[in-house]
Amino acid sequence: MKNFKQYFNNQLTEAENNEITSALLTNYYDSVLEKKWAKELSEKYGVSPHKAQEKKVKVITLAQKLLALAASFLLLFTLYQLSDTGVQQNYQELVATHLAEKYTHINVRKGLSQDDLRTLATEAYVSDNYPTAIDYYKQVIQLSAGPKIEDHFFLGLSYLYNNQLELAINTLQPTLEMDITSNFQSKEIINWFLGLAYLKTNNIEAAKIELAKIKGPKKQKAKELLEQL
């Protein structure tokens, strides 16, 4: 009977060892994928476990609701005819209707500021939560008056680390034309990651062009890579 002690004490065969390592990593990376898909399903497609149930309930009770509504109208009309308190009952219903619609909080109306979004993007990037980082960086860029090189660079890197290679390349390439800032002074780091992204898509010639431009701290690593190509 296999157990953790045997696994960690290397008391299993290579096949058993591989089996358990596979299981551990599969369960973890599957759970990461599940979370990513669940988020996208909820945000992009409006799908969640509970919404499916809501739709079902609505279908089942719609006829009942219509009947109940008709009966209520009839009853109200009858009562109004019979009683001189009809006016008071009506205004209470109106109040209830108005109060049923919740007033949106002012902070939700204003939305998050660009700096808030940039902070959230940074936190997501640092925690390796690239899908979330991508969402936030896209919002930061949307709110910007003009392109800010570090926002586009980290969006490109988030795409790259999230294996969305074409998007990574299409995002990083234009940053080479953007102005540097006090936070972001060398474009060679962009050449480096663009080179890596091109290599991941097997576009050797484009990668060579980017890596050849590097003369600074990454020069040795770029040289080692170029020698392989």
Partner 1 sequence: MAAQATNPEHSNSSSTNDFKSMKEMKDKNFGLSEEEFIQMQQAMSNGDESLFEQIYLSNFQKCVNILIKFNGANSDQAYSATMKALLEIRKELLQNKLVYDNLVGHFNKKARRELGKLKNKKSERMTIRTVDGMEFKDDKDFLKKIQSKEVVDCVGKAISRLEKIEKEKKPRCSNLLKYRYYYNWSYPAIAKKYYPGSIGEKLEHKASGIGHKVRGNCLPNFKIILEKILLKRLTKDFLDF
**53 or 85: whose CB is closer to partner 1?**
53
Q: Write the interaction track for partner 1 spanning residues 64-103; mark x where CB under 8 A is met and - where it is not.
A: ----------------------------------------
167: contact with partner 1 by CB under 8 A? yes
Kindly state whether residue 22 participates in binding partner 1, applying the rule CB under 8 A. Answer: yes
When asked if residue 28 is in the footprint of partner 1 (CB under 8 A), the reply is: yes
51 binds partner 1 per the rule CB under 8 A: yes
Helix, strand, or coil (residue 112): coil
42 binds partner 1 (CB under 8 A): no
Residue of the chain from 163, 181, 185, 186 that contacts partner 1 (CB under 8 A): 163
Identified binder of partner 1 from the candidate list 129, 132, 164, 175, rule CB under 8 A: 164
- The string of DSSP letters for 167-217 reads HHHHHHHHHTTSPP-SS---SHHHHHHHHHHHHHTT-HHHHHHHHHT--ST
- Exposure string over 35-72, b if 16+ CB within 10 A, otherwise e: eeeeeeeeeeeeeeeeeeeeeeeeeeeeeeeeeeeeee
Per-residue tokens: 42: 């909820």
Q: Which of 64, 88, 97, 228 binds partner 1 (CB under 8 A)?
A: 228
- Candidate segments 9-17, 72-80, 95-103, 183-191, binder of partner 1 by CB under 8 A: 9-17
First-to-last alpha carbon distance for the chain, in angstroms, is: 48
Where does residue 78 rank: exposed (0-12), middle (13-18), buried (19+ CB within 10 A)?
exposed
The residue ranges that bind partner 1 (CB under 8 A) are 1-5, 7-8, 15-34, 37-38, 40-41, 44-45, 47-53, 56, 128, 163-167, 199-202, 204, 228-229
